[in-house]
Amino acid sequence: MRSKKLAQKLVSLNIDKSPYTRKLNYSYNELQKGITCASCHSFRLEDKTNTLECLDCMYTEDVTSAILRSIEEYILLFPDRKITTKYIYEWCNGIKSKKTIQRILSRHFKLIGHTDAAYYVKKSDNAKGKHT
């Protein structure tokens, strides 16, 4: 009988919704654009041809890895937005050319379509039919 009361008490204390699943309200337009330093998260990066150097902590990162990291951030923050050269160029705040962005996207993502409406998906997501 005592264990039944304990079970009932535990059920009554059950929380249906986690307080940690709160959705943050933000929009693409209100967020600061640009690639951040992988070390100190500063937006003050200098383009050094094949690397980006942080002007605050002097950390140096390969351009491709910095852009891929920025793309992953974009995907995490905006899972419903398409991945396009234009959007990623804007998200990176034009630190590299659209041609560089397009080359990195082509190497690491799968292109869907061939017109202005073309977009990229993660190669692993394509098999599942996702349009991240």
Q: How far apart are CA 98 and CA 100, in angstroms?
A: 5
According to the model, what pLDDT value does residue 24 have? 77
Look at residue 71 and tell me if it is in a domain: yes
Look at residue 22 and tell me if it is in a domain: no
Helix (H) or strand (E) holding 70, with range, is helix 63-77
Q: What is the pTM of this model?
A: 0.76
Look at residue 25 and tell me if it is in a domain: no
According to the model, what pLDDT value does residue 90 have? 97
According to the model, what pLDDT value does residue 5 have? 74
> 80: domain CATH number?
1.10.10
Look at residue 132 and tell me if it is in a domain: no
Look at residue 9 and tell me if it is in a domain: no
Number of structural domains the chain divides into: 1
Look at residue 92 and tell me if it is in a domain: yes
Tens-level pLDDT at each residue, the chain (132 residues): 677 776 677 667 776 666 666 677 889 999 999 999 999 999 999 999 899 999 999 999 999 999 999 999 999 999 999 999 999 999 999 999 999 999 999 999 999 998 888 999 998 764 444 444
Query: What residues make up the domain containing 107?
Result: 32-126
Q: How far apart are CA 48 and CA 115, in angstroms?
A: 32
Q: How far apart are CA 86 and CA 111, in angstroms?
A: 14
Look at residue 44 and tell me if it is in a domain: yes
Q: How far apart are CA 94 and CA 132, in angstroms?
A: 22
